[in-house]
Amino acid sequence: TNLSSDLKPKVFAVLVFGDPHRKYRKDNAWPINSPFVNSNPRDGSSSTHNVASFCNRGDEFCDPTGARLGPHLAYPSDGSIASILLPISPRREHDRSRGMIGAEA
C-alpha cells in the first residue's frame, strides 16, 4: 500500500470493496495524496471524491459489527462493482456523448 512520491499524484481514484480501514477507522491510511473517501458510493459521489469505499452490512472485514464472510464475498454479484465500472466504461462514455445512452443508463 505504499506508493512512491512519484506515483501518488498520478493516481486518479481508488476503489475498495470490503475496506478494512473502515472497521478500524483509519481515514488517512490511503497511499495517495489528499485522499477524500466516499463511504457511501452507492448513493453517488462528487468530483471531489477520489476513494470509493464499499462495505456491505455484516461484512466481517469492514463493518464494525460484522461477523459474516458472505457479505464480503458478495461484491462481484451484488451490483457494487457494476455500479462503479459501468458509468466510467469508455464505450458507454463514447455512446453517451453521441446521444445513444440516456442519463438513466
pLDDT digits over 50-105, tens only? 777 888 899 999 898 999 999 999 988 888 777 766 555 454 444 444 443 333 33
Domain membership flag for residue 104:
no
Structural domain harbouring 30: 8-97
Domain membership flag for residue 19:
yes
Domain membership flag for residue 3:
no
Name residue 36's amino acid: F
Q: How far apart are CA 17 and CA 52, in angstroms?
A: 8
Give pLDDT tens digits for 13-55.
778 888 887 777 665 566 666 666 666 666 665 556 677 788 8
The number of domains in the chain is: 1
Name residue 47's amino acid: S
Phi, psi of 43 (to 5 degrees): -90, 0
